[in-house]
Amino acid sequence: MSDTYAVIGNPIIHSKSPLIHNAFSKQTKKKIYYEALFAPLNGFTEAIKIFRQNNGRGMNVTTPFKFNAYEISTQLTEDAEAAQAVNTLLFDNNEIYGHNTDGIGLIRDIVTNLRFTITAKRILICGAGGAASGIILPLLKENPSTLVISNRTVQKAYKLKDQFSSFNNIIVSNNNMDIAKREFDLIINATSTSLIGKSLILPRNIFASGSLAYDLMYSNKQTPFLKFAQKEGAEYLSDGTGMLVEQAAESFFLWRGIRPKTKEIIKNIRNGS
């Protein structure tokens, strides 16, 4: 009987994770069964319990359960502890190992796939929810010159600043007027605006020469944020497809001990195949 893995979320029908992990399984010849699980908003813990009882070995966790996954983990990696959010679970006997591979996936996509250097760059992260918290520590480890967090609810941004204060200096932007005084080499949209097809309201002239605009949402069409960035002169544009596949590859490595090749799978997802 194949070991069982899953992605859990609400909603979950849109998830590409089964497609990706089944491709990893075929590529590496590591037989697994991988499914998408929908859980009620108040049913995460019960869903985990049932999954483990049915030979479940590991899970990817997506919106809105990353904080719930953090809370049930009995062992945490540094990235998960810092983010206070978990997107990958490994079940081993009575232990629940919590990991956060989002930031690792983002860095691997930006640095390795896109060949964009983060060191000494000026970064703006738009958003202060679970998506943002998962990428901050790996970004700080790349030693940017500045990292600014902007969020509609400024208290959330300050909470993230305090959360990561021991790792490096983070600046919180109170409003767009403050952002307008700066230029950035890398602007990351970690809000849900692209998911619902809305534009992220940002000042003009904040993209520096040679800058990268990166939307954490994956899409076959250009997102409103990337359309704005292109008009504003961002030299490089990327949605989150590469990050999605790279964080999944890290999850697969944690579960099965082998890291799949990602280039072809990223290409296939972008092409809709």
pTM listed for this prediction:
0.93
- The residue from 66, 181, 221, 227 that is catalytic is 66
φ, ψ for residue 136, nearest 5 deg: -65, -50
How far, in Å, CA of 89 to CA of 77, rounded? 11
Query: Of 93, 92, 39, which Cα lies nearest the Cα of 62?
Result: 39
3-class DSSP assignment, residue 149: strand
Active site residue 66: yes
Rounded to a whole number of angstroms, the distance between the first and last alpha carbons of the chain is 29
In order along its 273 residues, the chain shows pLDDT tens digits of: 679 999 999 999 989 999 999 999 999 999 999 999 999 999 999 999 999 999 899 999 998 999 999 999 999 999 999 999 999 999 998 999 999 999 999 999 999 999 999 999 999 999 998 889 999 999 999 999 999 999 989 999 999 999 998 887 799 997 788 899 999 999 999 998 887 778 888 999 999 999 999 999 988 889 999 999 999 999 999 999 999 999 999 999 999 999 999 999 999 998 876
What's the half-sphere exposure (Cβ side, CA atoms, 13 Å) at 203? 16
